[in-house]
């Protein structure tokens, strides 16, 4: 019983701390003066360097998804509907969520470890002494870069995933790429693209914010830095599913599903 009370209190304290950190980002982080050079650097590090991993996982995901779906569709004699099903599944749900989870695994841990190391070695304190606002320079730039880069990576990941699905389809039948794309987009609508794209901004914001929060308040020692990196990945992954659930509920209420 005492353990449950302690865990509940710890959860509420953590939720309150993250809420304060988020409020600080909107009250301090997005005000001028902007650290444009650092933002561009972080966009390159977070976006461009994540692309190979996103591309590889996207290609494999499209290939495996096709191989898994095809036998079931063959049983019911609707194998021709395979590109349509794959297109809807990838664009609406699988592409954004899987890309965000891969992104969280790479970026949230990286940011958590980087800022955690800076916290432990007192580099963040030194920045404050030298007159540099570490929250704007370190946190705001990384959160904004993650928020802007994940939607781009998701679009590219979806395209590569569809290419993997095209390869999977052609392992059993011969289909031209033009026909495959036409079938994929046959049943996709505005309500499929826009909500899936918009929620990736929230995924990216959550990943960047939680990675920075865990690193910024990392405890002393190498174990503290390691814990910051690990808990950042876990918490960011949970937040992605929570945001996805809310997004599905909202789009359902708006009649976009």
Rounded to the nearest 10°, the torsion over CA 136, 138, 139, 140 is 50
Q: What is the pLDDT of residues 149-182, one digit of tens each?
A: 999 999 999 999 999 999 988 888 888 888 888 8
The residue that leads in pLDDT, 33 or 249, is 249
Q: What is the pLDDT of residues 65-106, one digit of tens each?
A: 999 888 888 888 888 888 888 888 898 889 999 999 999 999
pTM (two decimals): 0.89
Q: How many structural domains compose the chain?
A: 1
Residue 207, domain member (yes or no): yes
Whether the predicted pLDDT of 121 surpasses 90: no
Whether the predicted pLDDT of 257 surpasses 70: no
Residue 23, domain member (yes or no): no
Residue 8, domain member (yes or no): no
Residue 3, domain member (yes or no): no
Residue 21, domain member (yes or no): no
Q: How far is CA 146 from CA 46, 78, 210, 211, 254, in A?
A: 7, 40, 11, 10, 27
Q: Looking at residue 213, what is its pLDDT?
A: 93
- 91 CB-contact burial (10 Å; exposed 0-12 / middle 13-18 / buried 19+): buried
Average pLDDT over residues 189-215: 90
Q: Looking at residue 180, what is its pLDDT?
A: 87
Mean pLDDT score across all residues of the chain: 88
* Other beta carbons within 10 Å of 83: 23
Residue 38, domain member (yes or no): yes
Cα maximum dimension of the chain: 70
Residue 10, domain member (yes or no): no
The Cα–Cα gap between 98 and 107 comes to 14
Whether the predicted pLDDT of 29 surpasses 90: no
The Cα–Cα gap between 209 and 189 comes to 32
Residue 102, domain member (yes or no): yes
Domain that holds residue 242: 34-254
The residue that leads in pLDDT, 257 or 58, is 58
């Amino acid at each position: 019983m005492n353990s449950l009370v302690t865990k509940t209190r710890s959860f509420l304290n953590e939720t309150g701390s993250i809420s304060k950190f988020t409020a600080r980002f909107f009250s301090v982080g997005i005000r001028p003066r902007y650290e444009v050079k650092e933002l561009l650097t972080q966009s390159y590090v977070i976006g461009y360097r994540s692309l190979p991993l996103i591309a590889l996982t996207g290609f494999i995901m499209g290939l495996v998804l096709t191989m898994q779906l095809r036998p079931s569709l063959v049983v019911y004699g609707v194998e021709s509907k395979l590109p349509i099903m794959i297109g809807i599944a990838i664009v609406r749900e699988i592409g954004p969520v899987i890309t965000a989870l891969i992104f969280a695994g790479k970026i949230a841990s990286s940011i958590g470890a980087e800022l955690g190391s800076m916290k432990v070695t007192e580099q963040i304190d030194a920045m404050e002494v030298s007159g540099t606002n570490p929250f704007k320079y370190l946190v705001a730039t990384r959160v904004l870069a993650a928020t802007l880069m994940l939607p781009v990576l998701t679009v590219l990941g979806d395209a590569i995933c569809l290419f993997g699905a095209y390869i999977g389809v052609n392992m059993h039948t011969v289909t031209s790429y033009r026909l495959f794309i036409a079938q994929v987009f046959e049943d996709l609508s505005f309500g499929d693209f826009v909500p899936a794209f918009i929620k990736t901004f929230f995924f990216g914001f959550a990943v960047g914010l939680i990675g920075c929060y865990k690193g910024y308040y990392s405890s002393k020692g190498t174990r503290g830095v390691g814990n910051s990196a690990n808990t950042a990945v876990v918490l960011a992954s949970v937040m992605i599913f929570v945001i996805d659930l809310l997004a599905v509920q909202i789009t359902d209420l708006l009649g976009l599903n």
